[in-house]
Homo-oligomer: A and B are copies of this chain.
Amino acid sequence: MKKIKIGAVGLGRLGRRHAENIAFRIPNAELAAVCSIVQEEVDTVKKEWGIPYGYSDFEEMLTNKELDAISICSSSTEHCRQISQALEAGFHVFSEKPLGIGMEEVQLAKQRVKAHQGQIFQLGFMRRFDPSYAYAKQKIDEGYIGKPIMIRCYGVDPISVIDGAIAFAEKSGGLFFDMAIHDFDLSRWLLDSEAKSVYAIGACFQYKEFAAYGDIDNGAAMIQYKNDAMGLFYAGRMCAHGYHIETEVIGTKGSLRIGTVPYKNLVTIANENGVTNECVGGFLERFESAYLNEMQNFVDCIIENRKPDVGVNDGVKSAEIAYAAAESFKAGKIVYLD
């Protein structure tokens, strides 16, 4: 069995998860190198997992000719540059979203990917690989709910991580770019259409700290798509019951929802409060399978030399919507795309 040798940059919470998946859960992949600006993270992973190479310098890792591919999960500010460099160095590239900070970087990333058509590039819109989302997409494609006419997407972080969100606010790109970009991608994918216009509202309802960066703690957006379909979006940072990612698609013949109750597991508790389902606490818990499946898909695409379903264009289009939403919110007006 041929194994794709991957070098992974970024060993934070999600980066470590990606690395772990590559190392231990993807049969036809091998975690051959890890890289982090935090030397201690590199040392720990190398030793604990027995990884051959460790780097604190990304460009140095790119000189390792044993590697087939690079997996990027560094800080968002590094994405654009690292994508470009890894592609230039001849590697297949998997990158976490976003493609970059600001539409200029995003467009630059797009150009670089286009310039290396022979190399596989996949963007980390992992929700498409979540079993529930994949199942929903299949049902829709089979015509099960008729023609989709509306989508509703919720993306709400648990209140437990509010401190981190505030600390990160300056660099996050704002609520719509940081949180709702996954939902904007889902809407394009599930409706099979592009956004025509965006109108967004919101406020700092509880955490005024976000206002210093022109950001908000809760916001909503309404999008009209080119095929007339409608989109309702809600993003927030203060979910009491856990990590709430919910999507609904209404079609001409029926509808479906994904994650209405984000069950932690199959346990239902009945006590003096009533009958309760506890909920997932965060993205690593909710999308455990999705993170694994997307990396498996990346590796399979390399081996089979086929283009991933989620590529650079999806990153560009979703970023366009996110920036349009931010602009709409700031200007208080409808923003038209294209």
Contact = CB atoms under 8 A, between A and B. Distances in A.
A313 to B, nearest CB: 25
Nearest to A218: B149
Nearest to A203: B228
A205 B252 contact: yes
A214 interface: no
A27 interface: yes
A33 to B, nearest CB: 17
Contacts of A274: 241-242, 264, 269, 276-279
Interface in A207-249: 218-222, 224, 228, 230, 232, 234, 236, 238, 240-242, 244
Contact of A250 (B236, B253, B256, B259): B236
A268 B272 contact: no
A279 to B, nearest CB: 5
A276 B279 contact: no
A265 interface: yes
Interface string A245-285: 00000101111111111111111111111111111000000
Contacts of A132: 265-267
B253 A271 contact: yes
Contacts of A152: 152, 232, 234
A107 to B, nearest CB: 28
B267 A48 contact: no
B218 A201 contact: no
Contacts of A25: 24-25
Contacts of A234: 150, 152, 230, 232, 250
B24 A241 contact: no
A189 interface: no
A199 interface: yes
20 contacts: A1-B49, A24-B24, A27-B49, A132-B266, A135-B267, A144-B269, A199-B222, A222-B232, A234-B250, A238-B252, A240-B270, A241-B270, A241-B271, A244-B270, A256-B267, A256-B268, A263-B263, A275-B276, A276-B276, A333-B334
